[in-house]
């Protein structure tokens, strides 16, 4: 854990702001482009942990910038936009995450995003520019209008210095939403590049199809998403299980020594939050790894989506957001 000092708040676009932070200890931030940090936000209803991708370049390690869009149903992002000011401090964990191109990519890159999914892509492009890495890059970004195309002026300036960078900006209110066939035509390097994709689920599904049909290797596809759909799915699972007369399971959290009851069909994360435990989480889809726990005893049903490696699962690591108890459990918080 580290304490961060907010040093600057800067508007980027409608409902989008960049918050700059320094470590109060003066320590640098060591991370890779595309990783995220998890902040403890002091909402009036109680503290919550939320993860945000670092938008700044790892080559500029004295501070980090988090570009955040205020969500219509997101209390955390609205609090940041309405309350977070320079001079305030927040507790943070990280950086974390596997959504990054490594230490020095050698293959061509396709960076495809929509909406606020531009944040990790901007971090990667800024880092490539700072580090003088000259691999070919095709940067594709979709926004509703031209005013919604994040970081456009800066990224065009970077591309102007780099002959191997190609940019495509798509304002969907003018050109319509792209489809897989159109994206294959727009990005002929899909089959041969390492592809990083971030954005709404529909956009990522389209890009995934385009990459697959183009003949891209599965290992060259990388995606990241943070969506609330899993919250609704969890609520439906709890309702269905309760209606079927199923009973819940006891879950003990160590080292706190706190015991809770997970309701029928409820994930460990939802059960913990319902009982007031300040568990860190973000994507709620088993992608980001923020909510990892170590299972000391008991069994769970877990449907993760890349947040853990196989050896971590074998070692007892689980993700609270997508793990439902099958027996009584004892878990250890990080």
What does the alpha-carbon distance between residue 208 and residue 191 come to, in Å, rounded to a whole number? 12
Specify whether the CB–CB gap between 104 and 133 falls below 8 A: yes
Q: How far is CA 281 from the centre of its chain?
A: 10
Tell whether domain 2-96 is in CATH 2.40.30.10.
Answer: yes
Per CATH, the number for 109-224 is 3.40.50.80
**pLDDT at res. 240:** 52
Q: Find all residues with CB under 8 Å of 123, minimum gap 6, and list them.
A: 33, 34, 53, 54, 55, 56, 57, 58
Distances (CA, A) of 111 to 62, 100, 121: 25, 11, 6
Q: The pTM is what?
A: 0.73
pLDDT digits over 39-78, tens only? 888 988 788 778 889 999 999 889 999 999 887 766 889 9
Specify whether the CB–CB gap between 302 and 326 falls below 8 A: no
Q: Find all residues with CB under 8 Å of 203, minimum gap 6, and list them.
A: 114, 115, 117, 142, 177, 197
Distances (CA, A) of 77 to 53, 63, 127, 183, 205: 13, 20, 26, 31, 25
How would you write the pLDDT of the chain (334 residues) with one tens digit per residue?
899 999 999 998 888 999 999 999 999 999 999 998 888 889 887 887 788 899 999 998 899 999 998 877 668 899 999 999 999 999 998 888 888 988 888 899 999 999 888 999 999 999 999 999 889 999 999 988 888 898 999 999 999 888 889 999 999 888 888 899 999 999 999 999 999 999 887 888 899 999 999 999 988 999 886 544 344 444 444 455 555 555 789 999 998 888 888 988 889 998 887 776 767 776 677 877 778 899 999 999 998 877 888 888 999 999 999 999 999 999 998 6
What does the alpha-carbon distance between residue 270 and residue 291 come to, in Å, rounded to a whole number? 11
**pLDDT at res. 334:** 67
- Return the CATH fold of 229-333: Ubiquitin-like (UB roll) (3.10.20)
Spell out the domain ranges in the chain: 2-96, 109-224, 229-333
Strands 89-96 and 36-43: antiparallel
* DSSP code, position 54: B
What is the biggest distance separating any 2 CA atoms in the chain, rounded to whole angstroms?
64
- Per-residue b/e over 126-154, b at no fewer than 16 CB within 10 Å? bbbbeeebebbbbbbbbbeeeebbbbbee
């Amino acid at each position: 854990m580290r304490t961060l000092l907010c040093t600057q708040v800067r508007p980027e676009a409608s409902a989008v702001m960049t918050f700059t932070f320094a470590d109060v200890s003066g320590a640098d931030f060591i991370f890779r482009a595309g990783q995220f940090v998890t902040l403890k936000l002091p909402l009036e209803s109680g503290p919550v942990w939320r993860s945000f991708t670092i938008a700044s370049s790892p080559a500029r390690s004295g501070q980090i910038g988090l570009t955040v869009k205020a969500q219509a149903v997101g209390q955390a992002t609205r609090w940041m936009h309405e309350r977070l000011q320079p001079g305030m401090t927040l507790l943070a964990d990280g950086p974390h995450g596997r959504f990054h191109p490594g230490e020095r990519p050698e293959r061509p890159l396709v960076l495809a995003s929509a909406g606020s999914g531009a944040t990790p892509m901007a971090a990667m492009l800024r880092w490539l520019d700072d580090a003088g890495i000259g691999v070919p890059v095709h940067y594709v970004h979709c926004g509703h209008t031209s005013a919604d195309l994040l970081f456009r002026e800066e990224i065009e300036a970077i591309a102007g210095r780099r002959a191997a960078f190609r940019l495509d900006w798509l304002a969907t209110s003018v050109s319509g939403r792209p489809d897989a066939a159109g994206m294959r035509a727009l990005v002929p390097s899909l089959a041969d590049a390492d592809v990083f994709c971030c954005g709404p689920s529909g956009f990522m599904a389209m890009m995934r199809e385009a990459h697959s049909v183009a003949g891209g290797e599965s290992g060259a596809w990388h995606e990241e998403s943070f969506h609330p759909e899993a919250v609704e799915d969890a609520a439906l699972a709890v309702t269905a299980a309760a209606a079927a007369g199923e009973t819940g399971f006891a879950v003990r959290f160590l080292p706190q020594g706190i015991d809770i009851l997970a309701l029928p069909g409820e994930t460990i994360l939802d059960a913990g939050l319902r009982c007031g435990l300040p568990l860190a989480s973000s994507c709620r889809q088993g992608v980001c790894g923020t909510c990892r726990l170590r299972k000391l005893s008991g069994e769970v049903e877990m449907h993760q989506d890349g947040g853990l490696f196989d050896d971590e699962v074998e070692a007892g690591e689980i993700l609270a957001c997508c793990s439902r108890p099958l027996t009584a459990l004892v878990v250890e918080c990080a």
